[in-house]
Amino acid sequence: MRGLTVLAYAKLNLTLRVVGRRADGYHELQSLVTAVDLADRITLAPAEHGITLDAPPELGPPEANLAFRAARALLLGEGPGVRITLRKGIPAGAGLGGGSSDAAAVLAGLNDLFALGKPLHELQTIGAGLGADVPFFLGPSPAWVEGVGDRITPLDVPLPAAFLILVPPFRCPTPDVYRAFDELGLPLSPPGPPPAGVAIANDLWPAAVQLFPELLDVQSALARVSPGGAGMTGSGSALFAPFPSGEEAEVGRRRVRPDVEGDLFIASPTQSGYRIAG
């Protein structure tokens, strides 16, 4: 049986509202999310039995990796085995959803590779047990994502042709940002319908800046080169700026490069959170 390669795309939270706090400590969100073509590359090869993962060692032990856990959750230790090779293109720990995207790509890829016939809603249910962002990556993009990532509505909204993404040389730990949000007593946003277009806003921004004030300088530098301003994805630390074309994003990258530290990427919206590449 042939193997399969799947591209696992990154995501950007164009709008992120914190609309509630749950008794279990999680926060209720509303977010306009798009996938973009900054990607990890995952190869799935049939094996006689068991699951193995070849991934960069800095990601930690294979058994804790979401790609490994996704395969285990779908295959349930029965039937065929799989060898997973993961090559990172999405910076880890920056709010770009790389781990969740990897899990979704493995679920979708194995469903195709072994002709399992699992419908989307079943894959999303399995994904929800792995991480809040996983169900989004399995469906169409962009989407309006609510709750703890469990309510997803595909949207038809106009998006910029390209985004300039800056990943600073530091990370914003997600639990720390949400804890700072609560400790600052920041107000909850009222729940509401999705915006008609791209409205860059993130309720977690004040909390992230409280922890990492240098984000202000990064945002200002990006906003100076983008006609649409600049925002933060997820709980950070990655920031992004929209552009009407990839060429204009490249001009923005050259202009901002002397003023910032970190990695700069240009990415375009995609229609799904993953793509089976062959």
Catalytic residue among 11, 40, 102, 203: 11
pLDDT of amino acid 32: 97
Give the whole-angstrom CA distance, residue 238 versus residue 218.
Answer: 10
pLDDT of residue 1: 63
Query: Which sign, positive or negative, has the C-alpha torsion 142, 147, 151, 155?
Result: negative
Give residue-wise pLDDT tens across range 135-184. 999 999 999 999 988 899 999 999 999 999 999 999 999 999 999 999 99
CATH number of the domain residue 24 falls in: 3.30.230.10
pLDDT of residue 211: 97
Please indicate whether residue 133 is annotated as part of the active site.
yes
Average pLDDT value for the chain: 95
The residue annotated as part of the active site, out of 40, 54, 118, 133, is 133
Residue 276 maps to a domain: no
Looking at 101, 134, 156, which one is the last position of a domain? 156
Inter-CA distances, 38 with 1, 77, 217, 227, 267, Å: 29, 31, 24, 22, 6
Total domains in the chain come to 2
Q: Reading across the β-sheet that carries 239-243, which strands appear in turn? A: 231-232, 239-243, 162-167, 263-267
Q: 278 in a domain, yes or no?
A: no
pLDDT greater than 90 at residue 76? no
29: helix, strand or coil? strand
What's the average model confidence in pLDDT over 72-97?
92
Assigned domain for 277 exists: no
Domain boundary (156, 188, 223) is at: 156
Model pLDDT for residues 199-254, shown as the tens digit of each residue: 899 999 999 999 999 999 999 999 999 989 999 999 999 999 999 999 999 999 99
What 8-state DSSP symbol labels residue 244?
A: S
Closest to 229 in 3D by CA, of 264, 200, 260: 200
Range of the domain at 229: 162-267
